[in-house]
Amino acid sequence: MFQVRNRGRLRITGFTLVELLVVIAIIGILIGLLLPAVQAVREAARRMQCSNNLKQMGIALHNYNTAHKVFPAGTRSHAGSQWVWGHAWGVAILPFIEQTALYEKFDKVGTGSRHSGLMHTGLIYAGMNEENGRLLSGVGIPAMFCPSSPLPRFVLRGSVPPGPVGAASPMYTAITGAIDDPTAINKDSQTHLHRARGIQSQGGILLPRRHLSFQDIQDGSTHTILLGEQSDYCVTPTGTQRDCRSDYGHSFAMGTTPSDAIDDRWFNTTTVRYPVNHKDWNSTGVGEQYYACNRPIQSAHPGGAQVLMGDASVTFLNESIALKTWFNLCNRDDGNPIEGL
């Protein structure tokens, strides 16, 4: 500031334009420095909540194990039925994530209709469970949503149950194993009379139609993955975003059929085939026209994705993790327990 002596009186004349511009520029630069930091902190907080959700489900799966002596099936059908779509692990853990009322009301045996997990009536298909559709309409189960995710929280929106609000679609999926497990079945080829495209493996813990206990996890529960994140879009070569979660737009409740050679689709589970954070829609078993078995574990967090281990701990896996290590973590009985993650 200038102090000008004018006719003997001291007077403050104010700032010049250049001074003001300099000050504004400095403030601008400082804000510019600060903003990315603030965004990073916000994402870190969201990631923490995302990881806490996984932890909640880990505790729920362990409480299920304590109550039933086994883990829930990753995806299941009802016993004894000919051709029905059952429900998935997300329904089995409801009583253990403060959703007992919902679990009690959920029709798990397909009374009055043939299916339990299949509930929308948008397709010409007999025996869909409209009651379950109405029950789950608009019910948001907080633990199933990752706040970092840009994906829609509700799917199956339509005029039929579950209605215009839809049913919850989880941002976490069960891992049935990795493709290098001896149980892996190659169904890539279109010549197979099978609707599933990709490779299906049963080397994990949350398997289709099977309940495993701790003693089945030979590599140790600390070294085997239960659930993984699917919280971002996949991208086509032209840059179009596609929802590539393993519920295939059928909500967290959708399960599988009794074992069937033609249409063995395991909803809400995936077989790990690609690196962590792989988002290429045009990969085999990812963006398939029919059911795709190998939807990747990927997240909206920079640099990797979170997984839930068998001991209910949550680990952030870097996307540069070696493919072999990643596969070993997904298989429970490969004899390669991975230490020090």
Partner 1 sequence: MKEIKVGSSAVGLFGWCTALGFCVLVVGCSGGDVGHVSGRVAVGGKPVTKGAIVFENPQAGISVNAELADDGTYTVRSHQREGLPPGTYQVAVRPTAFGGEEAPLVTDPNAQPSVAKSDIPEKYQSVATSGLTATVKKGDNPPFDFDLKP
Using CB under 8 A, list all residues that contact partner 1: 82-83, 85, 118, 123-125, 179, 186, 188-191, 193-195, 235-239, 248-249, 262-263, 273-275, 278-285, 287-291, 323
User: Residue 55 CB, nearest distance to partner 1 (Å)?
Assistant: 28
Gap between the Cα atoms of 250 and 268, Å rounded: 9
- 310 phi, psi to nearest 5 deg: -65, -20
Integer Cα distance of 272 and 327 in angstroms: 7
Contact 204, 176 (CB under 8 A): yes
- Count of alpha carbons within 13 Å of 277, Cβ hemisphere only? 15
| 245 bridge partner residues | none
Nearer to partner 1, 154 or 274 (CB): 274
The minimum distance between CB 36 and partner 1, in angstroms, equals 16
Q: Kindly state the smallest distance separating residue 309's Cβ from partner 1, in Å.
A: 21
Of the two residues 25 and 45, which places its CB atom closer to partner 1 in the complex? 25
Nearer to partner 1, 239 or 340 (CB): 239
Closest CA to 163 of 142, 141, 127, 133: 133
DSSP calls for 31-44? HHHHHHHHHHHHHH
Judged by CB, which is closer to partner 1: 6, or 259? 259
Query: Based on CB atoms, which residue is closest to partner 1, 99 or 246?
Result: 246
We find the least distance from the C-beta atom of residue 326 to partner 1, in angstroms, to be 8
- On whether the CB atoms of residues 177 and 270 are closer than 8 A, the answer is no
> Minimal distance in Å, beta carbon 173 to partner 1?
16
